[in-house]
Structure 1
Amino acid sequence: MNIEELPSWEDGSRGTMVRCALWLVQVVRVGEVFTKTELREAFPETSQIDRRMRDLRDRGWRIDTNREDKTLDPSEQRFVEMGAPVWKKGQAKPKTAAMTVSANRRREIIAADGHMCRVCGIAGGEPYEGSLETAQLDIARREVRKPGGTTATELVTECRKCRVGGRGSHADLEKLLSEIEQMSDIEQDHFAQWVGEDQRDFSTMERLWGLYRTMPAESREAVRGALRNR
């Protein structure tokens, strides 16, 4: 994208959200940090410029606060990724307008997901391993590939860490169902038990393999030596 060819963010004939997007691209630049004061000074005539900035998130723009990026101060935000080019005709429509989540719907989704992050499995309020920080659950939008090749946006529970790290991720339901069909009857019965209980118990061997594969090379060699000498 050639920044010089874009409309000017100072063009007052354009909507505030569009000008805000152009300001991010032309003045702040991707990857850089800006403050709330800088934003308000750029748009002194707009009393709700913070809201117009947030509106860009529904158009695929990623603008992190200190909730997502702990290196930021409360007054700072980082322009991480550009979304839809809202200055172009037909691009200003919210991508997630039909996915507004009410408080009741949010509770329903979290309950259906077992009150835990469906990526890492941590429960709300549970401390992260090796940290005093506790998990906060939120609702994420996930693109899902359906059988037949169509896609749909579905809602899922994620902790804030996984939500930030997994932005842009998608799920392939078509592939999963195809691979299940290729399982033997015994494998399908076993898998169906895990699905029915929405959890699985790892065998001793699987737990030990998980521990082994995280070891440094020197420690992995010690394990191999122990097995050779048994």
Structure 2
Amino acid sequence: MDIPSWKDPKLGTMKRAALWLVQEVGVGGLFTKEQLRDAFQGTSQIDRRMRDLRDFGWRIDTNREDPALEAHEHRFTTEGEPVWQEGKGSRPGNTVSAAQRRELLARDGHKCRSCGISPGEQYPGTYVASQLDIARRPVLLPSGAVEVQNVIECTRCRVGGRNLTADLADVLARIDRLPLLERKMLAGWVAQDARVFSEAEGIWAAYRSLPADSRDQVRGALS
């Protein structure tokens, strides 16, 4: 099927951005923000419109997802839904307003629900600051139905978890199998929406991330 030109002014900005990626960059190709903005001179919020493509299965990596990229580079990794086709590229009733976004951020504690990072906080071992966004996560309900629910995640977790489905049914079933003492302990964590890790647990997490030679030294120190 023939596809329209990315230069067609009758198309919306997101659709033109998708076509520009396909026709000018190509899957696997690199581009910069400057090249994107040069192609769409006079178009406001072109960066945001390109990010919107991620909600339709398009994958556009930065150096947060691919450390081999320079800070100014992007890679067009995966072509998603053909948003320029009739009936594609829109999700009626799924638009989140600015007020709803603020409510979601407050509800989720202004933190990524997957890794716990706060907005603007640097990822450990990097100079990259986090950005929080709304992820639309499919949730498998006890009834067997799948419902899409909103959750706050950082960009890194949002991209990494795009194809995941949360299994609420499994979580509830595992709670039912917990011994009473562990169930009460879990209820306390849930009530506080936080878990304080012991010093030993913190050391264990740090140990797990060490290279093999360093892990050997830790085992020697404990023997």
TM-score of the alignment, normalized to the shorter chain, above 0.5: yes
Instruction: Please tell me the residue identity of whatever aligns with 1:33.
Output: L
What residue in structure 2 maps to residue 44 of structure 1? Answer: none
For structure 1, the 5+ residue unaligned runs are 1-5, 42-46
Judged with a 3 Å threshold, the aligned counterparts in structure 2 of structure 1 residues 200 and 39 are, in CA distance, closer, same or farther, namely same
Contact 1:7–1:22 (Cα < 8 Å) also in 2: no
* Offset at residue 147 of structure 1 (A): 1.5
* Offset at residue 117 of structure 1 (A): 1.2
Return the index of the structure with the highest Cα Rg: 1
**Whole-angstrom distance in 2 between the partners of 1:186 and 1:61:** 45
* Offset at residue 191 of structure 1 (A): 0.7
Contact 1:58–1:97 (Cα < 8 Å) also in 2: no
Contact 2:6–2:17 (Cα < 8 Å) also in 1: no
* Offset at residue 213 of structure 1 (A): 1.9
Q: Say if 2:45 is the partner of 1:80.
A: no
**Whole-angstrom distance in 1 between the partners of 2:2 and 2:120:** 46
Of 93, 96, 99, which aligns to 1:104?
Answer: 99
Judged with a 3 Å threshold, the aligned counterparts in structure 2 of structure 1 residues 206 and 101 are, in CA distance, closer, same or farther, namely same
**Whole-angstrom distance in 2 between the partners of 1:126 and 1:37:** 28
Q: Equivalent pairs: percent with the same residue?
A: 48
Instruction: Using the TM superposition, name which of 54-63 and 132-141 deviates more.
Output: 54-63
**Whole-angstrom distance in 2 between the partners of 1:210 and 1:55:** 35
**Whole-angstrom distance in 1 between the partners of 2:74 and 2:39:** 10
* Offset at residue 48 of structure 1 (A): 8.2
TM-score by length of 2: 0.74
Q: Secondary structure at the match of 1:161?
A: helix
What residue in structure 1 maps to residue 70 of structure 2? Answer: 71
* Offset at residue 118 of structure 1 (A): 1.2
What residue in structure 2 maps to residue 202 of structure 1? Answer: 197
What residue in structure 2 maps to residue 213 of structure 1? Answer: 208
**Whole-angstrom distance in 1 between the partners of 2:191 and 2:80:** 38
What residue in structure 1 maps to residue 56 of structure 2? Answer: 59
Q: Say if 2:187 is the partner of 1:192.
A: yes
Judged with a 3 Å threshold, the aligned counterparts in structure 2 of structure 1 residues 101 and 52 are, in CA distance, closer, same or farther, namely closer
TM-score by length of 1: 0.72
**How big is each residue's C-alpha offset from its partner over 1:181-226, in whole Å with a ceiling of 9 and x where there is no partner?**
1111111111111111101111233223222222222232233334
Aligned length: 215
